[in-house]
Amino acid sequence: MRSLIECARKVYYDDAVFYVPEDVYEPAEDTFLIADNIDVNLGDRVLDMGTGCGILAIISAFNGGEVVAVDINPNAVKCAKVNSVINGVSDRISLICGDLFNPIRQSELFDLILFNAPYLPCKSEEHLGKVSLAWCGGENGRAIIDLFIDSAPAYLRRNGRILLVQSSLSNIEETERKMRDRGFDVEIISERRFLFETIALIKAIKVRF
Ligand SMILES: C[S@@+](CC[C@H](N)C(=O)[O-])C[C@H]1O[C@@H](n2cnc3c(N)ncnc32)[C@H](O)[C@@H]1O
C-alpha cells in the first residue's frame, strides 16, 4: 500500500482522496459526469464496471450501496482496493479482476450498473500498455460498449438502471437505439461539450423483459 501511495497522483472529489498510479486511468471529466449524477439508494446493489482507481465504486459505497467493482487491469483492481481502505469503505466493495461480466455469476442482479467505458476510436497499434485499455474502443470506438450492452440486461433487476458515459465520436444514437431494442427507456441526462466531441451521460432503465 505504501509504495502505491508514494508514487501515485492524488485526485480529490468532495472529502475523498484517490491515489492513482501511472498505469491506472486518472479520473477526468467523464468520471465526474457520472460521479455528479450517481443515484444510489440505501442498500442498492451496484456494479461498477471498469472501476479504474475505484472512485465511482467508493462514491456509491458512501451513498449506501453494496458494490461489486470489476476491471480488466489488475493494477487498477489493486489501486481501487487501496483507495477503498483509505476511504473507509472496503467492507462494502468487492473488487474483481476480469473481462466485463465474465467474473459475475449469472444469477447476480443489480439495481444500478455504472460504466465510464473505453469509448474512443483507436487503431490496435495504439495499444501501448494497460492504460490504453481505459480509452481505446477499437476502430469505431464501440467494441467494448456493444459487448456491454449485449450482456448488461441479464444482470439488472426490473427497473434497474445503467449510467453509461460515451463520446459523440463513437455514435451515441447507436447506443440509444440498441438499448431501446433491449427493453430500456433511455435518456441523456447530462453532457459536456468540447471542441471535437461531446461526452454524454446516458441513463437507461430496464422497463421491459
Ligand atoms: C475510462 S476508464 C474509467 C475508470 C473509472 N471508472 C473512472 O471513471 O475514472 C475505463 C476502465 O475500464 C477498464 N476496462 C477496459 N476494458 C475492460 C473490460 N473488457 N472489462 C473490464 N474493465 C475494462 C479499464 O481498465 C479502465 O480502468
Number of domains in the chain: 1
Q: What is the predicted pLDDT for the residue at 75?
A: 95
Nearest CA to ligand 1 atom 16: 133
7 pLDDT band, cuts 50/70/90, is: confident
The predicted-structure confidence for 84-124, as pLDDT tens digits, reads as follows 999 999 999 999 999 999 999 999 999 999 999 999 999 86
- Cβ–Cβ under 8 Å, residues 143 and 177: no
* H or E stretch at 29: helix 29-35
Answer whether residue 38 shows pLDDT above 90: yes
- Atom number of ligand 1 nearest to Cα 31: 8
The answer, yes or no, to whether any atom of ligand 1 lies below 6 A from the CB of 143, is: no
User: What range does the domain containing 34 cover?
Assistant: 2-206
Question: CB of 71 closer than 6 A to ligand 1?
Answer: yes
Which CATH number do you get for residue 105? 3.40.50.150
